[in-house]
Amino acid sequence: MDAIRVRGNGPLSGRIPVGGAKNAALPILCATLLSDGASLLRNVPGLRDIETTSALLRFLGRDVAVAAPEVRVSAASGPIRPEAPYELVRQMRASVLVLGPLVARHGRAKVSLPGGCAIGARPIDQHIRGLEALGATIRVEHGYVVAEAPRLKGAEIVFDLPTVTGTENLMMAAALAKGRTTLVNCAREPEVEELGRVLNKMGAKVEGAGTDIIVIHGADALDPFDHAIISDRIEAGTFMAAVGAAGGDVLLEHAPIDDLEPVIVKMRQAGVEVERDGEHMRVRRVKPLRAVDVTTAPHPGFPTDMQAQFMAMMCVAEGQSVLTETIFENRFMHVPELCRMGADIDTRGHTAFVTGVKGLSGASVMATDLRASASLVIAGLVAEGDTIVRRVYHLDRGYEHIEKKLAGVGADIARVPLEGMP
C-alpha cells in the first residue's frame, strides 16, 4: 500500500485546478436511477467514492461508463435489482442515496443499514421517517432497510434536524411521487441546491433547493440529463488551508467562491487574503497567522468538512484558538496525530483548544477519515523533516491527486510505497 510523504518546504506558489464536487456528484449519480435513458455527468472527479457508486449502480443493473471527468449512466438490458448490499454500503455511507430513487421508481428498495462510522453514529432515521410519510412501508430485517410502495404520494415532511443526504434522498423520492411534497428544515448545502437543478432538468418541479423549505411537484416519469457538476468547495477550502499554513500565493482555478463564504470569513480573520480573480480565487498569506475561533454548523455555517484542515492551520498560528465541532460526535481523530507532530491541542468534549506553536516536526501518522487525513497533509507542509501519512485510501476517497496538485505549487510531496518506511 502507498503512503504520502511530505516535507516542509516553504511557501506555495502557482495554480491548482479545483475538481468537481464529490458530494454533489454522488447524489446526482444516484438520481440517474430515476429515469431510463442515458444520462451524462461532466466535471466528475476521479475518486474512489465515484468508483464505489459506479459499482453500486452496476450491481443494481445499470450500465456505467466512466471516462473521467465524464460518467455516462444508462439502463442495461436486464431488469433492475433494487438492492444495495452491505459490502458496498460499508465502504461508503452515501450508498444510502439509492434508497429514495429505487423505491420511487421501482416500488421496492432493499438497502443495507450503514451503521456507525469513524466520525460518529450517523443514523438514517430522518430518511426513513420521510419515506414513510411519502407512503412507503418500511421494515428493517437482517441489517437491511426494506422499503416498499406501489406509488409514493406527496406529503409535508419536517426534518428534526437538517441532514444533507436525508434531504437529497427525499427530494429524489418526491420527484416521482404523486402530487406536491413540502420538505421543511432542509439542509441548505450547495450540493442540495445542485441536485435541485438536476431534478428540474429531468422534468420534476423543485423550488427552494438551497433554502430550508423545498417544494417538489412530482412527475409521472423523468428524463435523462446532461449536467456539469459544480466545483468542490471542500477541496478548494483544503487548499486554502494549505496556503494559510504554509504561506504563499496560489490561484485556485474554478474555486466556488460564493459557496465558500463561511470559510473565507474565518480565513481572512486569520490573516489569509482571499479574493475573486475572474472565475478563479486567489489565496495569499504573507503576514503571520492569527488564532481564530470556529464552531461548525450546517450551511451557511462553517462546514464540519473543513474543521480538521482549519485546525492544522491553527496549530501554527499565533495565540490560542477554540474549535467546536457540533455536527459529528467523533470528529477529532486528527488531534492525537497532530499532537504527535508537536501541536499543542487540548480537547474537552466537542471543543479543542489549540495553542499555536512555532513549528511542527514530521512524523509517521495516520487518520481514520478523509478530512482528518487532509489535515495531516497540511501539517506535513509546515513540519520540519518527513511526515508519512498512512492509509492513503482515505484521501483517495475525496481528493483527486492531492499530492500532484500540491507538488505543482512547490510542495515537497510524493506518493511512495509504504514498504521500508519508518
Closest CA to 6 of 411, 371, 278, 319: 411
Contacting positions for ligand EPU (CB under 6 A): 23, 26, 93-94, 120-127, 161, 163-166, 187, 191, 304-305, 327-328, 370-371, 398
Compute the least distance from the CB of residue 167 to ligand EPU, in Å.
8
Could you tell me whether strands 280-285 and 273-277 are parallel, antiparallel, or unpaired per DSSP bridges?
antiparallel
182: three-class secondary structure by DSSP: strand
Compute the least distance from the CB of residue 7 to ligand EPU, in Å.
26
For residue 137, what is the enclosing H or E element? Answer: strand 137-141
Measured CA angle at 414 (ends 410, 416), to 5 deg: 170
Residue 211 DSSP label: B
Compute the least distance from the CB of residue 269 to ligand EPU, in Å.
22
Q: Which is nearer to ligand EPU, 127 or 334 (CB)?
A: 127
Q: Which is nearer to ligand EPU, 121 or 213 (CB)?
A: 121
- Give the residue carrying C-alpha cell 415532511: 157
CB contact at 8 A, 184 and 159: yes
Compute the least distance from the CB of residue 104 to ligand EPU, in Å.
18
Q: Which is nearer to ligand EPU, 9 or 351 (CB)?
A: 351
> Per residue in 339-374, is it b (16+ CB within 10 Å) or e — as a string?
ebbbbebeeeebebebbbeeebbbbbbbbebbbbbb
CB contact at 8 A, 100 and 136: no
* Catalytic residue positions, numbered: 117
Compute the least distance from the CB of residue 298 to ligand EPU, in Å.
7
Q: Which is nearer to ligand EPU, 154 or 190 (CB)?
A: 190
Q: Which is nearer to ligand EPU, 330 or 347 (CB)?
A: 330
Measure Cα distances from 104 to 117, 124, 170, 172 in Å.
27, 18, 10, 8
State the DSSP string of 89-107.
HHH-GGGGGGHHHHHHHHS
Compute the least distance from the CB of residue 401 to ligand EPU, in Å.
17
Q: Which is nearer to ligand EPU, 159 or 225 (CB)?
A: 159
Q: Which is nearer to ligand EPU, 120 or 208 (CB)?
A: 120
Residue 125 DSSP label: H
Q: Which is nearer to ligand EPU, 5 or 394 (CB)?
A: 394
- Rounded Cα distance, 209 and 248, in Å: 37
**Cell numbers describing residue 279:** 472565475
Compute the least distance from the CB of residue 308 to ligand EPU, in Å.
9
- Rounded Cα distance, 96 and 91, in Å: 11
- Rounded Cα distance, 359 and 343, in Å: 8
For residue 25, what is the enclosing H or E element? Answer: helix 22-31
Closest CA to 122 of 174, 167, 169, 165: 165
68: three-class secondary structure by DSSP: coil
Compute the least distance from the CB of residue 398 to ligand EPU, in Å.
6
Positive or negative torsion for Cα 169, 120, 398, 392: negative
